[in-house]
Amino acid sequence: MAASVRKLILLPITQYSRRTSLSYLMLARHYAAPAKKIVGKVSAQSAQKSKLQVETDPEKLLKYCCGACIYVDGKDPEIKADSEYPDWLWTLHTERSPRDLSELDPMTPEYWVQISRFTKNRNKRVWKRLQKLKDIQYPDDKIGVS
């Protein structure tokens, strides 16, 4: 680690330890303070975002995957025929909306994450409706009113 140790603090961890016969010691590290912000005027050139040039050549757009190369001196990868790509690539789910539960296998984590989201959203809606009902039935029972 690049940070230097400023203080060495020994803390007993008996309440966190499962072993009660020994008390363990913990080393607490104090890292260097964060850098101070420079207060001053920012030049207009550094504050503006630089715009990337968009490729407009139709032949290059048809042959190369423009913008995929992350290197400054590198070339964009050439687009190959569909038969040269693996079959699983064409079955990927690329839509923004989540999949239906009928499409998912119940033995996958994605299925249970989806169930959890649906349950949380449903509970949130039910709780809001109950609060509205409570406010209608008991209008004098508001929090903060004495």
31-81: per-residue pLDDT in tens? 666 666 665 555 555 556 777 788 889 999 999 998 888 888 888 899 999
| pLDDT for the residue numbered 42 | 55
Helix (H, G, I), strand (E, B) or coil at 39: coil
Residue 64 DSSP code: B
Res 141: pLDDT: 73
Spatial separation of the C-alpha atoms in residues 8 and 2, rounded to whole Å: 16
Joined tokens for residue 127: 């709780």
Provide the whole-model pTM: 0.37
Please give the pLDDT value at position 84: 93
Displacement of CA 142 from its chain's centroid (Å): 37
Phi-psi region of 33 (alpha: psi -120 to 50; beta: other; left: phi over 0): beta
The 10s digit of each residue's pLDDT in 89-137 is: 998 888 888 888 888 899 999 999 999 999 999 999 999 999 999 988 8
Handedness of CA 85, 87, 88, 94 (dihedral sign): positive
Res 15 pLDDT > 60: no
pLDDT band at 22 (very low <50, low <70, confident <90, very high): very low
Sole residue written with tokens 């016969």: 21
More confident residue, 64 or 5: 64
How far is 113 from 78, CA to CA, in rounded Å?
Answer: 37
Instruction: Give the Cα separation of 1 and 9 in Å (integer).
Output: 18
